Structure 1
């Protein structure tokens, strides 16, 4: 499994709008095409956190392929009024991804 955590800025009042946009997107086949196993959105004091788990060991390839799909492009456009980059030098979603520095899972 592969996980990503995107960090950005978001106003508290945008929670419902952003949840609706993702709810509509996740009701399509797009999450399955991307190999998305789970998506969780969090908000904390003006910060937006988007945790996404993928089936593949590296979800990057599936996301790159999805970027050309009109549904992926539409959700990116729909989110722009609500989500601002944390880093003003942001160019791609990879620029907003946190780096995992510790991971633990229980032994079987």
Structure 2
């Protein structure tokens, strides 16, 4: 009797695990489609700022309806970021005068 209960519980856990994985996969697919839809609503300037074009968004859907389009889009953006010229910025001098420099030094009491 114990082996039957153990077998039944292990089968039940296995089925629950498969169902959980499928639910997570559907949720991830839905979130990826939602993110893709937000990207499609952006204008050209905003897409350019993050390193994408409309063609990248169209190419992302070539993988099929159930594929994750955001992986293609992320790869394209990473490729473009890697090709950008790196500009080293030197810090500009502060426009606010150093207020502490004009104050008299504290005198020690003693």
**Highest Rg: 1 or 2?**
2
Say whether the fold is shared (TM-score over 0.5): no
**TM range, smaller chain:** under 0.3
Output the TM-score relative to the length of structure 2. 0.27
Q: Which structure features the higher share of helix residues?
A: 2
Q: Which structure features the higher share of strand residues?
A: 1
- The higher-RCO structure (CA 8 Å, 6+ apart) is 1
